[in-house]
Amino acid sequence: MGGARDVGWVAAGLILAAGACYCFYKLTRGRRRGGRRLRLRPSRSAEDLTSGSYDDTLNAEQVQKLLYLLESTEDPIIIERALVTLGNNAAFSANQIVIRELGGIPIVGSKINNPNQSIKEKALNALNNLSVNVENQIKIKVQVLKLLLNLSENPAMTDQLLDAQVDSSFLSLLDGHVPKEILLRALTLLQNITDCLSEERRLATQTAFPAGSLFSLLYGKECAQKMKALVHHHDADVKEKVTMIPKFW
């Protein structure tokens, strides 16, 4: 793996995770973003729903047809069109709920592992729109972290990951109040990256990564402070995982 397009969607995944944290920060403080006004369509076949521009919302039956289509077809053109339609409709607050309740988040999330780069991007866009809903965010961070964990296990991807531009809110994944499943995945991601980057190489390449990159974020003071705070976390699994990342001590 490599190249400009790979770096682009890796960065998009990281930014999505950070964006979900930021949305959670805003929404839990009562600053909810308003949904768009609903305008329901008459029922259509699943493939017909992918063949146009949709500026209004689909009903639950139509969303279910699209999700079934995503699971049942291997045609990349149909998959991409279905993701575009779902992504557009995920801008509606009602459909953010409908898609989650119909089990759509893992279905959409599974497409970020598709070898087709355009499908990856459309899936990430749909997840980004879905992340505006506060109850969707836990499921979506989990989905993005699964992808990033897979990438972080490959030493050939280390530089691309570390070079990705990431908002500082990404470090919210290391806050002590984050749900255990997400916190452990975030710590494992950090462990994988540090394991792939030797201390000698880290010092040698420190100036190669720009400000605002994942490298500058993970090896900055704020991240170190968060890691030291997690040593005192109430959960034993979290504390054990933190001690397994010795480069911070």
**Torsion angle in degrees (nearest 10) through CA of 96, 125, 163, 186:** 30
The number of beta carbons lying within 10 Å of the beta carbon of residue 235 is 13
Contacts for 104 with CB less than 8 Å, ≥ 6 apart: 63, 67, 86, 98
94-98, 108-112, 165-169, 213-217: least confidently modelled range: 165-169
Q: What is the pLDDT of residue 38?
A: 36
C-alpha 28, offset from chain centre: 19
Average pLDDT, the chain: 77
Name which of 70-74, 177-181, 200-204, 229-233 the model is least confident about.
200-204
**pTM for the predicted model, two decimal places:** 0.63
User: Which of 12-21, 88-97, 131-140 has the lowest average pLDDT?
Assistant: 12-21
pLDDT of residue 143: 74
Asked if 49 contacts 66 with a C-beta cutoff of 8 angstroms, the reply is: yes
pLDDT greater than 70 at residue 51: no
Joined together, the tokens standing for residue 3 give 């190249």
Higher pLDDT, 207 or 212: 212
| Sequence-ordered list of residues with C-beta below 8 angstroms from that of 50, at least 6 positions apart, any chain | 66, 69, 78, 81, 82, 84, 85
The pLDDT value given to residue 158: 83
Instruction: Quote the pLDDT of residue 152.
Output: 84
For 20-48, write each residue's pLDDT tens digit.
554 444 444 444 444 443 333 434 555 66
**Mean per-residue pLDDT for 98-123?**
87
Residue 190, pLDDT above cutoff 70: yes
- Phi, psi dihedrals of residue 36, rounded to the nearest 5°: -80, 155
Name which residue leads in pLDDT, 143 or 111: 111
Token pair, residue 225, equals 């402070």
Distance CA 83, CA 108 (A): 7
Mapped onto helix, strand or coil, the DSSP state of residue 83 is: helix
Q: Three-class SS of residue 165?
A: strand
Instruction: Give the span between the Cα atoms of 223 and 214, in whole angstroms.
Output: 11
Average pLDDT over residues 153-166: 82
What the block records as the tokens of 196 is: 């792939």
**What is the pLDDT, as a whole number, of residue 82?**
92
pLDDT of 9 above 90: no
Report phi then psi at 244, rounded to 5. -85, 0
What pLDDT is attached to residue 30?
43
In DSSP notation, 58-75 reads: --HHHHHHHHHHHHH---
DSSP states of 214-236 as a string? HHHHHTSHHHHHHHHHHTT-S-H
pLDDT at 170 exceeding the cut of 50:
yes
